[in-house]
Amino acid sequence: QHDESRHDSPVRYRDGSVRLRNPNIELMDQDILYHLALGSGSHDLVEMFGDVKFVCMGGTPKRMEQFAEYIMAEIGHKIPAGTALHDISQYSYRYSMYKVGPVLCVSHGMGIPSIGILLHEIIKLMYHAKVKDPIFFRIGTCGGIGIEGGTVVISEEAVDEMLNPYHEQHVLGKKVCRPTTLDAKLVRELKALSHADDPYDTVSGKTMCTSDFYEGQGRLDGAFCEFDENDKKEYMQKLLDAGVINIEMESTAFAALTHFAGIKAAIICVALLDRFKGDQVCAPKEVLNEWQARPQTLVSRYIRRYLQRK
Ligand code: R2B
Ligand code: URA
């Protein structure tokens, strides 16, 4: 049980472990993390997850499995001979989760609602497991604005479709706005880990988060479109003028909910195309696979450096 005298900040215990901004949880005799197929009554969460330091999230189960395999080799983590990594949340049939030593790799699906539900349960998981000072990364894909396909983008700030730097949610029929603050130092540290000889650029700027891939991102190729090419170009220019360099679909929720929980977090996405030049994702599959590994490489460099310094 957490002891009141350990309280340092509204969101952290003095030893760095995650504290919940919800008094109800510690009063419950068990907490079922339904979409993860885990529970505080059915699993020893401290034993299973107490050593986690990094939580890496990305959209698809396959990409996160590949990231788990990749980070396992990168940090030299060994699992018993003849065994394979296994999907801890397999029986949720929702998200996939792999644990590689201190690195938890989880898929978040598409869009704010999907990543929002996951964040509630992962943040509670951090609390139940008594994880100290975790760092969360979203490694994803995005559309670039004036940025070539293959470029890696680190988000300095997330804004919504109206360019507001907050995540708006409706709670009990009221609007609740939470700031989408990201850790500026972490952005600088990540940027410094890009190599001059990487065959691609790594840049940073604002990220716009939308709740739709097509009309919501100004695409002309959806099932519906009631604007023209000129309207789109004008809009892209307006975004660029506001400092927005990429568009994706989870950043506001990810930034706001981690910040509200007092968890350090960063968003690193690879651009799949320059939205000034088109709407369809036409790069061949092999090229897309190579591009999607780029944010993983950057996060791996960060994790390895952290583990070496320990
Ligand atoms: C990027 O890619 C997905 C849409 O294709 C979405 O999850 C996002 O943020
Ligand atoms: N993901 C998005 O949300 N938009 C794009 O254009 C590409 C990937």
Q: Measured in angstroms, how far is the CA atom of residue 177 from the centroid of ligand 2?
A: 24
- The tens place of each residue's pLDDT in the chain, 310 residues long, gives 444 445 556 678 889 899 999 999 999 999 999 999 999 999 999 999 999 999 999 999 999 999 999 999 999 999 999 999 999 999 999 999 999 999 999 999 999 999 999 999 999 999 999 999 999 999 999 999 999 999 999 999 999 999 999 999 999 999 999 999 999 999 999 999 999 999 999 999 999 999 999 999 999 999 999 999 999 999 999 999 999 999 999 999 999 999 999 999 999 999 999 999 999 999 999 999 999 999 999 999 999 999 998 7
Q: Model confidence over 155-166: pLDDT tens digits?
A: 999 999 999 999
Closest ligand to residue 149's CA: 2
The residue contributing the CA closest to ligand 1 atom 7 is 110
Assess whether the C-beta atom of 248 lies below 6 angstroms from ligand 1: yes
d(CA 46, CA 289): 35
Instruction: Please choose from 145, 217, 251, 291 the residue to mutate so as to test ligand 2's pocket, defined by most ligand atoms within 8 A of CB.
Output: 217
Q: Measured in angstroms, how far is the CA atom of residue 248 from the centroid of ligand 2?
A: 5
Assess whether the C-beta atom of 295 lies below 6 angstroms from ligand 1: no
Q: What's the token pair of residue 56?
A: 């890496």
pLDDT value of position 9: 64
d(CA 75, CA 283): 31
pLDDT value of position 13: 86
Residue 69: closest CA among 309, 305, 300: 300
Assess whether the C-beta atom of 142 lies below 6 angstroms from ligand 2: yes
ipTM of the complex: 0.99
The residue whose two tokens read 């539900």 is 117
Per the document, the length of the chain is 310
Four-CA torsion 256, 260, 262, 265, nearest 10 degrees: -10
The residue whose two tokens read 């991102």 is 217
